[in-house]
Amino acid sequence: MAPLLPRAPRPLFPAPSSARRRGRAPAAALAAGALVLTGCSTGPAGGESGSASTSAEGATGEFPRTVEHVYGETTIEEAPERVATVSWVNHDVATALGVVPVGVPTTDFGANENGSTDWFEAALEESGAQAPETYAETDGINYEAIAALQPDVILGAYSGLTQEEYDKLSEIAPVVAYPEGAVAYGTSWQDSTELIGQALGREEQAAEVVADVEEQIEETAAQHPELEGTSFVYGTIDPSAADPIFAYTAVDNRPRFLDSLGMVQSEAVEQAAEGKEDEFFVTWSPERADDLTSDVFVSWAEDEGVREAIQHDPLLSRIPAVADGALVLQTDPQEVLSVSAASPLSIPWALENVVPDIAEAAASSGGE
């Protein structure tokens, strides 16, 4: 299999980003940011905020409150005003709920030309808040940088936090890890939004944001009836990798995204994933390429040259979707990130920037 990025929320492959199109952030999320802009903006620890209101003013839930997650329970005494995040997604969710964090990890994969993402920049601009400080997570959790921000809470609802990491972060501030029963880096965007809404005392806003984004998904599905019932494999085909084929299972956010649009996971992948409920991908032997049946195959590649390599490979070219001309090859890491690390900010962007290519492939394959 191709190399994995350290601490990545799924196998992602670094390459220069070339953002092509800009989508819209969810209306409810931006409305929340505009109406209840928080004091969680960038500035020296303990310094004054550049915003007019605080997280406490925007919270509708009562405090103290206890939030349950994979490592037990976390009690949050007061509505957080200084929020720090780990991994991806969490800062998107907090911002969608009107709480712009004071600190977030750098976007090492899937960044646009500004080192951020189109969807986060749009929401940040709409909110009027200052950009958060950033810290690298390439070598693991940056405890020192997070501690220097003096956060009131640390959000990791979407993460792969270990018990050791959770315990060490808890010495800095209350920590919200990923939900009980979820796999590491496998929290759905809905569950991330709900859990972070609980932590911030913003359950009502969280419900509104989820409803708004789900409505956008339904509208997009209705605009592309060719997606309904079309089978897919969402994975990677890479002739140069040790394992040239792998496919994401139902516990990964990518298949979840296509499923929400009315598409269906390949029966071949479903059968290969049986008994592997905690694994987010399965490898597939090139010698069995003919058996990896689906109407559409969505894959990531560093550049378009990989398509030609696939088409000229005597085994990989026999994958049914490849042979039928229904291979969707994503070469923009931002497109990959928008779905793999799905959030209420990235999903609307993906609906505009990712779905059209998949719908075109579905139409050409005859999927209806």
Q: What is the pLDDT of residues 11-69, one digit of tens each?
A: 343 222 223 333 344 444 444 433 333 334 333 333 333 333 345 567 777 999 999 99
For residues 146 and 38, state if they share a domain: yes
Note whether 248 and 340 are within 8 A (CB): no
| Same domain for 212 and 280 | no
Question: Encoding tokens for residue 319?
Answer: 């994958």
Number of domains in the chain: 2
Condensed to tens digits (0 to 9), the pLDDT of residues 302-340 reads: 999 999 999 999 999 999 999 999 999 999 999 999 999
The Cα–Cα gap between 362 and 229 comes to: 10
Query: Tokens in use for 41?
Result: 């903006």
Domain closes at, from 190, 218, 246: 218
pLDDT band at 264 (very low <50, low <70, confident <90, very high): very high
Q: What's residue 23's pLDDT?
A: 38
**Is 7 part of a structural domain of the chain?**
no
Give CA–CA dist 217/123, Å, rounded: 19
Per the CB < 8 A criterion, the answer to whether 354 and 22 are in contact is no
Q: Are residues 205 and 157 in the same domain?
A: yes
pLDDT above 70 for 216: yes
Q: Euclidean distance between the first and final Cα of the chain, in Å?
A: 33
Residues 129 and 152 in one domain: yes
pLDDT of residue 301: 94
Clarify whether residues 350 and 309 are in a common domain.
Answer: yes
Lowest mean pLDDT among 107-121, 251-265, 338-352: 107-121
CATH code where residue 90 lies:
3.40.50.1980
Its domain, for residue 52, covers 27-218
For every residue of 51-77, DSSP letters joined together read SSS-HHHH--S-SSEEEEETTEEEEE-
Domain-located, residue 42? yes
Can you give the pLDDT at residue 2? 36
Same domain, yes or no, for 298 and 340? Answer: yes
Under the banding of pLDDT at 50, 70 and 90, the label for residue 96 is very high
250 within 8 A of 273, measured Cβ to Cβ: yes
12 found inside a domain: no
State the average pLDDT over residues 184-208: 97
Domain assignment present for 19: no
Q: Are residues 276 and 261 in the same domain?
A: yes
In a domain, 21, yes or no: no
Q: How many CA atoms lie within 13 A of 167 on its CB side?
A: 3
